Structure 1
Amino acid sequence: MTAVIASNVVLGSTASAGEEVSNGTFETSTTGWIATPKDDGSAPVALARVAGGHTGSYAARVSNTSAAAATTVLNDSPNSVPSTTAGLTYRATAWLRASQANTSLVLRLLQFDASNVLLSSKQSYHWATDTAWHQLTLDVVAAKSGASIDVNALAWDLGAGKSFLVDDVSVAPLATTTTPAPPPPPSPTVSGVLPAQGTGALFGYYGSGGADPTSMETKIGRKFDLIHHFKDFDATNNMWPTSGMLSQAAAGRTIHIGWEMVSYDGGYDSALQPAPGASSYDRSGNAQKTWTYRQVTSGSLDRYLDAVANKVKATPSAKFIVDIDPEMDDRPDIGGTAKIRAAAGTRAEFAAAYRYIVDRFRARGVTNVLWAWTVSGWTATDPSKAWSLQQLWPGPNYVNVIMWDPYNHKATNWRSFGQMVAPFYNSIRGGLLDPVDVTAKKLPFGLGEYGCIADPRRPDWLKAIPSQARLYPGLVSLGYFNSGSWGALGDSASVTAFGTAGKDAWFHTRW
């Protein structure tokens, strides 16, 4: 369960104003509630009062009566909080129960001004692997006086003919005492790694299986600025930076590490780390073990983190960009495929683990790492999923560069490089992360991975990259992913075009 709570509010007991929900127990009726279809109005639902409440005798049952999976919503009508007091924290709780396992249960608070303009949307979710009751809790701070708070309980992509139960819904203001938030830690920059926004971009590369990039460099007639590697958390598996990485760095390349909290082969070094605390399946359906985010924040991985930090610190001339559990937004509760990330913990736990690792490296005096926050990115443009990025954000001064992994992957929905980049870029630049960090949209951007499927149009697509990249001045690093069906450069025409793009003046080897 994930809750969004203001970091500078000390929560106290319920204020005397008391309960705002007039009928949260459903003991006599469903008055004050309606069942609504998916937010776009595309699927019918039904509401009924049924026996078997969390407490008392009854609960509300919301059913998907359509022939396909659909998000279903229990909505208060009218809004439970008709008029807010600016700065006051309102806490909502509800008990939800799914009729089938593997259902995403959600408590959502929508805040509207007097003109019905949406001021904020906060969500707390639980990925229910059973059919038991689960309590969800969520706090929202009133943005202004006179606003209203709309309370929703919902299930994402509920199966056809399936239902969920809701009981004991409560919203009450809390006594609050505001205290100054502690200043964030400094965010050091690493000179000579990223170009200034609007002046160009790094020409980056990942070779299939981590292949030596020199063969491709010979073919395209230039050296890459950045080489992408993936490393797991297993201390027995050649901890980074490896000798190969350091050789590449010594030749003037920046090293980009996708640092995954998994164990690729299930191994671990008991002298430095505990056994992975969870397991799930990767995107290929293979069982894989992972350390949990709570294992990080509990300190049980400190010896391992310190060993890596000391190794990085000992090579100050090498420059690194590091992301932690890349594509952690691509989770099954919102239709994604990264089950192993969900097994590691909640979104809030990821953000806490990210901060912990960065703080640990800084405390060890590491100054040659830039920290990247790398997401798949498709979640940014779907209003029903964009909230998840806010919950994954580590906070001000922990991220040096925002990265995402877009692909032109459908011949029937062909997109130019610019069309591929625009949705996520414009969403973040437009303030998607403002509710959690107003400075995030000013950070530099990078493509951790990007690629284009094999197609007769691909050579021209590649040649157009420099001219189109110039239209996105915040984009300062591009890492082509030469692997898999969405990006492998298997034809000579594409390789030649890739080299032509790389020789454009927008891409420089030295900054």
Structure 2
Amino acid sequence: MTGRHRVSGRSASRGVTDRGTVKRAYTAVVLVAVAALIAGLGVWAGRSEEAEVPGDALPDNAASGRVPTGPCAPSDTLVPACGAWWGAYVPYAANGSLKDAVLGFEKRIGRKLDLVYNYHDMSGTELDGQLLTPDEQELGRDRLLMLAWESTVWTEPHHENWTETQLGWKNIASGKYDEEILDPQIRRIKAYGKRVFVSFDQETDARIKEGAGTPEEFVAAYRHLHDRFRELGADNVVWVWTVSGYLGSADDMKALYPGDEYVDWIAMDQYNYYRCHNTTDWKDFLRSQQPSYEWLRENISDVKPVMLAEFATAPDAENPVRQRDWYTRIPADVKKLPEVRALVHWNRPTSDKAACDLTVNDGPGLDGYREAGKNGYFHQPVPPR
């Protein structure tokens, strides 16, 4: 999860900080389930097939409706032909509802999102480990979904304090967690039917130092997960390979690529952090994105579409108009990055400091983001299946 950790540890190596959330507590049942999973007590093995694939929890019309046709129709891998998807990550509302959070955000920005991005661990709990929650299913009726799936078990709900237990890429690749963890969620996605974006261990270059494993082990884990979806017949997944885009990790990013045959989109998470990281360097949208975009195209793949899987700007307290202008320039500037076909705003602060508020919930940031979202380049036909 890009930018999700405190300045110490993982984020310090690439200039990313904590995103902070409202505290909530797990129920005793969830705590027991997670503890048992970590301890290898086989909580998952005792689940019934009904628990793995609760068909009545999946919408009947998840994959229904007429597919867009014509020159602007998206491809089989959800690449829009005439512009780019306009998406966002929006944290859960205080009442625990993702749906309420997204609808509230859409009301503020004056439009419906094309793409909703959400994160999950591998605990299997209804709170965070169940892919395609009821809220996601409802939102997915007329929006695209991107599910970021982390090979960890989070300590707190919604990864509140960013502490976790690594399951390990080597273990994922070996098939150790297939039956207990992977397969139930793969079956849920298959049952959903509609095409969804899946990003496995996004910002993967930062996870090496966290103990997830080596680049070679990640490639093996990614390919294993990809093949497991195929073996179970879940062919409605569009695969997104996501790195930080931090060029200090260039060698790692090269080694982490599983190959064009396993990837549909390449993605990166770059920001204009400005004084959030105690710098005086204000990077406009193009300068914050173009160097890493060009590096990915030259060194990873020049045939895959590019997603800005997370992007945002910090404010400038001394010149608030700067934040508005940063967003209003996006429609013109993104056309200079022609393979960027999806932009996903990160609408969450990285810390309690005002300088690290990346949201566009009000003020000049909201004005600029609303204006950018009106541009026809970001109004493409969203497929219903």
User: Structure 1 length as normaliser, TM-score?
Assistant: 0.53
Which residue number in structure 1 is paired with residue 165 of structure 2? 289
One-letter amino acid of the counterpart of residue 216, structure 2: A
- Shift in Å at residue 473 of structure 1? 0.9
Which residue number in structure 2 is paired with residue 376 of structure 1? 244
For residue 310 of structure 1, the aligned residue among 150, 165, 187 is 187
Which residue number in structure 1 is paired with residue 329 of structure 2? 464
Which residue number in structure 2 is paired with residue 241 of structure 1? 132
Q: Which deviations, in whole Å up to 9, do the C-alpha atoms of 1:478-511 show, x marking residues without a partner?
A: 0000101251224333212211111101101415
For residue 498 of structure 1, the aligned residue among 369, 375, 379 is 369
One-letter amino acid of the counterpart of residue 313, structure 1: K
CA distance in 2, matches of 1:452, 1:209: 21
Which residue number in structure 2 is paired with residue 167 of structure 1? none
- Check conservation: 2:305, 2:341, Cα contact below 8 A: yes
CA distance in 1, matches of 2:116, 2:140: 9
User: After alignment, is 490-499 or 365-374 more displaced?
Assistant: 490-499
Q: Does residue 395 of the first structure (1) align with residue 270 of the second (2)?
A: no
Q: Which deviations, in whole Å up to 9, do the C-alpha atoms of 1:339-358 show, x marking residues without a partner?
A: 43xx1211110111000000
Q: How does 1:4-83 map to 2 (within 5 A)?
A: none
- Shift in Å at residue 421 of structure 1? 1.1
- Shift in Å at residue 395 of structure 1? 1.6
Q: Count residues in correspondence.
A: 285
- Shift in Å at residue 466 of structure 1? 0.7
Gap change, CA 1:486 and 1:375, over 3 Å in 2 = farther
- Check conservation: 2:105, 2:361, Cα contact below 8 A: no
One-letter amino acid of the counterpart of residue 138, structure 2: S
- Shift in Å at residue 396 of structure 1? 2.7
For residue 452 of structure 1, the aligned residue among 276, 290, 313 is 313
For residue 363 of structure 1, the aligned residue among 231, 237, 254 is 231
- Shift in Å at residue 368 of structure 1? 1.6
Q: Which deviations, in whole Å up to 9, do the C-alpha atoms of 1:69-88 show, x marking residues without a partner?
A: xxxxxxxxxxxxxxxxxxxx
Which residue number in structure 2 is paired with residue 120 of structure 1? none
Q: Which deviations, in whole Å up to 9, do the C-alpha atoms of 1:115-167 show, x marking residues without a partner?
A: xxxxxxxxxxxxxxxxxxxxxxxxxxxxxxxxxxxxxxxxxxxxxxxxxxxxx
Counterpart secondary structure, 1:362: helix
Gap change, CA 1:283 and 1:421, over 3 Å in 2 = farther
Q: How does 1:289-368 map to 2 (within 5 A)?
A: 289-303=165-179, 304-317=181-194, 319-330=195-206, 339-340=209-210, 343-368=211-236
Q: Does residue 262 of the first structure (1) align with residue 120 of the second (2)?
A: no
Gap change, CA 1:221 and 1:192, over 3 Å in 2 = farther
What residue ranges of structure 1 are gaps of 5+ in the alignment? 1-188, 268-281, 332-337, 434-439
Counterpart secondary structure, 1:389: helix
User: Structure 2 length as normaliser, TM-score?
Assistant: 0.70
For residue 143 of structure 2, the aligned residue among 253, 262, 276 is 253
Which residue number in structure 1 is paired with residue 33 of structure 2? none
Q: Does residue 226 of the first structure (1) align with residue 115 of the second (2)?
A: yes
What is the RMSD of the two structures over their aligned residues, measured on CA atoms?
A: 2.2
Which residue number in structure 2 is paired with residue 103 of structure 1? none
One-letter amino acid of the counterpart of residue 131, structure 2: W
Counterpart secondary structure, 2:89: strand
Counterpart secondary structure, 1:488: coil
Which residue number in structure 2 is paired with residue 193 of structure 1? 78
One-letter amino acid of the counterpart of residue 112, structure 2: K
One-letter amino acid of the counterpart of residue 260, structure 1: E
- Shift in Å at residue 259 of structure 1? 0.8
CA distance in 2, matches of 1:339, 1:283: 20
Counterpart secondary structure, 1:312: helix
One-letter amino acid of the counterpart of residue 441, structure 1: D
CA distance in 2, matches of 1:225, 1:464: 20
Which residue number in structure 2 is paired with residue 66 of structure 1? none
One-letter amino acid of the counterpart of residue 143, structure 2: R
CA distance in 2, matches of 1:376, 1:192: 22
CA distance in 2, matches of 1:489, 1:463: 12
Gap change, CA 1:392 and 1:192, over 3 Å in 2 = closer
CA distance in 1, matches of 2:205, 2:160: 14
CA distance in 1, matches of 2:173, 2:77: 31
- Shift in Å at residue 429 of structure 1? 1.8
Counterpart secondary structure, 1:329: helix
Gap change, CA 1:192 and 1:339, over 3 Å in 2 = closer
Counterpart secondary structure, 1:191: coil
CA distance in 1, matches of 2:330, 2:291: 16
CA distance in 2, matches of 1:464, 1:262: 37
Q: Which deviations, in whole Å up to 9, do the C-alpha atoms of 1:297-328 show, x marking residues without a partner?
A: 211111121111111111113x3111111111
Instruction: Choose 1 or 2 for highest CA Rg.
Output: 1
- Check conservation: 1:223, 1:509, Cα contact below 8 A: no
Q: Percent identity?
A: 31
- Shift in Å at residue 190 of structure 1? 6.6
What residue ranges of structure 2 are gaps of 5+ in the alignment? 1-73, 350-355
One-letter amino acid of the counterpart of residue 478, structure 1: L
Q: Which deviations, in whole Å up to 9, do the C-alpha atoms of 1:225-268 show, x marking residues without a partner?
A: 00110000111244101111110011x1111111111111389x
Gap change, CA 1:490 and 1:214, over 3 Å in 2 = closer
Which residue number in structure 2 is paired with residue 477 of structure 1? 342
Counterpart secondary structure, 2:204: coil
- Check conservation: 1:351, 1:392, Cα contact below 8 A: yes
One-letter amino acid of the counterpart of residue 79, structure 2: L
- Shift in Å at residue 287 of structure 1? 4.1
- Check conservation: 1:409, 1:486, Cα contact below 8 A: no
CA distance in 2, matches of 1:283, 1:427: 33
CA distance in 2, matches of 1:192, 1:327: 21
Q: Which has the higher helix share?
A: 2
